Amino acid sequence: KPYQIAVITGSLRADSINRKLASAIARLAPGDFSFTQLVIGDLPLYNQDDDADPSPAVKRLKGEILAASGLIFVTPEYNRGIPGVLKNAIDHASRPYGESAWAGKPAGVLGASVGVIGTAVAQQQLRTILAYLDVPTLGQPEAFIHVGEGFFDEGGEIASAGTRKFLQKWMDSYVAWVKKHAA
């Protein structure tokens, strides 16, 4: 497929609502888009001493990012910030200096939380980091997803028609964003 999107989820939890959201939104994309969930749970803790000899997991991550036409970050909020595992992955792929894998990749940001502000603080923090890394990030619509009881149905689909419609609009905007940057 012409548009390969790398999906980075900021939770390692088996039953992660953010991973479920990432899977659900991928199904809202057109047929010329494909999605791969990147693995970040096997990365070592970032240590600048290792820049000259990065681990295979780091090389794999950077290769997957470089090969992608776009990025989608789907992250929880931990203590009003982004989870350490996500920051660790971002830092790894940004180094060595001058060899960042991130620069120029069009991105979208979403997040799901059991709390009512739906990861707004973490997403703002993520946007600051992505701006520094020269990652053009879709501004609107913002997607602060509050996940209560029954948000996902048994098949993992988004139960509410209104929320599905909103996320469809998000995906349509993201698709246009990726195509604009590819052109």
Site for ligand FNR, rule CB under 6 A:
11, 13, 16-18, 76-80, 113-115, 119
Of 35, 132, 54, 53, the closest CA to residue 93 belongs to 54
Work out how close the CB of 81 gets to ligand FNR at its nearest, in angstroms, rounded to a whole number: 7
Which one, of 65, 84, 81, 55, lies nearest residue 7 by Cα?
Answer: 65
CB of 151 to ligand FNR, least distance (A): 11
Q: Which is nearer to ligand FNR, 30 or 84 (CB)?
A: 84
How far is residue 17's CA from residue 112's CA, in Å, rounded to a whole number? Answer: 7
- Nearest residue relative to ligand FNR (C-beta): 115
CB of 25 to ligand FNR, least distance (A): 14
The residue (of 63 and 156) whose beta carbon lies closer to ligand FNR is: 156
Tell which residue, 160, 46, 29, 133, has the closest CA to residue 92: 46
Q: Alpha-carbon distance 23 to 17, whole Å?
A: 10
Q: Based on CB atoms, which residue is closest to ligand FNR, 42 or 134? A: 42
Peptide bond into 96 cis (omega under 30): yes
Closest CB to ligand FNR among 72 and 178?
72
CB of 35 to ligand FNR, least distance (A): 17
